Amino acid sequence: MSQSVRSRVRSTVAAAFPSLPVLASVLIAPSAWAQTPPTASTAETVVITATRTPQRVDQALAQVTVIDRARIEAASGRTLAELLASESGVQFWSNGGLGKNASVSLRGLESRHTLLLIDGVRYGSATLGTPSWDNIPLDAIERIEIVRGPMSGLYGSEAVGGVIQIFTRRGQQGFHPEAAATLGSRRYGEVAAGARFGSGAFDGSLRLQHRRTDGFSATNPKSLSVNR
């Protein structure tokens, strides 16, 4: 509503109701505010894996999912394979408990058709022929990009099902120590500590982690521990 229109409305209301000039002003002002569109700033998520070049996630033709640091922290106590399996189109299976070989597949294809990258470098096992998902601690991961669908044109035959790329936590200017502890049933315990540091053009990140569990028996549920 323009200033001249508001003035004429106030004059008309004041002439009809001399005792309500303040009330008329209050009733008219909100309608003027409603005419102004709200301003909001949104940060666009930038992904790299889909085209091997930075682009906004809403512009990627492939189906891309980004698991940020907040979701990774909320999954404390879980393995990387378990975290990935919480996303649609991702399945995992394991040959046993912690430390045993696990396999991850995308869209129902074989696990050997899922390519795992860590900071752009292929990561796998020379003996298994598939990526090794078990020895990658979540505490060292900054974010994860999951690209579903055939990506062989960019990454080779291993990416028939898709690509999962892990971005590790980087250094920061200054000194930033961190520590975390997780406790669970069956004597599960996890302790992690580290620091990110940097000065000028140099930065780095150092992390230590220890995990322990008694596990459970898959054949005898009444067994107190498989390690005793």
pLDDT by residue for the chain (228 residues), tens only, comes to 555 555 564 555 455 545 444 434 444 444 444 444 444 444 578 999 988 888 888 888 888 999 999 999 888 878 899 999 999 999 998 877 777 788 899 988 888 889 999 999 988 777 777 788 878 888 889 999 999 988 988 998 888 999 999 999 888 889 999 888 888 887 888 888 889 899 988 888 888 888 888 777 767 767 655 445
**Main-chain phi, psi angles of 220, to 5 degrees:** -135, 90
Copy the structure tokens of residue 27.
Answer: 């009733």
Other Cβ atoms within 10 Å of 63 Cβ, number: 14
- Containing 91, the helix (H) or strand (E) segment is strand 90-94
Pairing mode of beta strands 174-184, 141-148: unpaired
Give the distance from CA 113 to its chain's centroid.
Answer: 23
When the candidates are 3.90.1150.10, 3.10.105.10, 2.40.50.140, 2.170.130.10, the CATH number that belongs to 46-168 is: 2.170.130.10
Burial (CB count <10 Å: 0-12, 13-18, 19+), residue 85: middle
Which among 182, 178, 214 has a CA at the least distance from the CA of 197?
178
DSSP state of 2: -
pTM of the model: 0.70
d(CA 221, CA 228): 14
